[in-house]
Amino acid sequence: SSRASFDPSQHLDLGTLDAPNWSRHTCGSMRKLKNHEQKLLKKVNFFDWKSDKNLRENKILRMYHIEDREDYTKYNKLAGLITKLVAQLRKLKPDDPDRVKMTQILLDKLYSMGLIPNPQSLEDCHKIPSSSFCRRRLAIVLVVNKFVPTVKQAVQYIEQGHFRIGPDLVTNPALHVTRDMQDHLTWAEGSKIKRQVKEFNDQDDDFDLLGN
């Protein structure tokens, strides 16, 4: 059973929060707001805040080439759940057996997923940003590991079937790549793009060029 979410619009008349109404109620007249007053009101204007938030989100979606906004929503939820779990663990005494056990399980899991740099301390996962999940998307991992120069190209090549993880061909740019998967990430056999890269790097192998 899910809890009903709190909707501020049911408790506040947001229409009364615009600058002219605030001016009328607080100053008793419809005088024009001064520059510093306008700046102050903008900081607490819920509509501007939502707009700014959307701008930041859109910037992240473009940066990581995330086509499905729902993916980013899921990353935010996961990051929030991890933060809450860490907060609960930190409430326990440092030598509590349950805290020690659960902390190690959590750290090992997050490390294997590539979300934290090392599995040593809860401090490393106290506030994991949603961008940590974005950076483990297959398209991003390919760019970081210099398979391709841009995320756009990475997405295109993935969807065309130019990469594999181990023996398995991968065609989903949004695939979460763990540290173990990253070690087995390579070009698909017979990939024309792979050959072009090798030719560019002057690393052709006659065995490969024969189609073996």
pLDDT at 10: 45
pLDDT at 166: 96
State the Cα–Cα distance between residues 79 and 60, nearest whole angstrom. Answer: 15
pLDDT at 194: 83
pLDDT at 79: 94
pLDDT at 204: 52
Q: What are phi and psi of 76, to 5 degrees?
A: -60, -45
Which is nearest to 158 in space by CA: 137, 134, 144, 179?
137
- Show the tokens assigned to 7: 């909707």
Q: Along the 212 residues of the chain, how does pLDDT read in single tens digits?
A: 444 444 444 444 444 444 444 444 444 455 677 776 666 666 555 555 556 678 888 999 999 999 999 999 999 999 999 999 999 999 999 999 999 999 999 999 999 999 999 888 888 888 889 999 999 999 999 999 999 999 999 999 999 999 999 999 999 999 999 999 999 999 999 888 887 776 766 655 554 544 44
pLDDT at 55: 85
pLDDT at 173: 97
CB 87 within 8 A of CB 93: no
CB 195 within 8 A of CB 209: yes
pLDDT at 6: 42
Neighbours of 17 (CB within 10 A): 14
Query: What global pTM score does this model have?
Result: 0.69
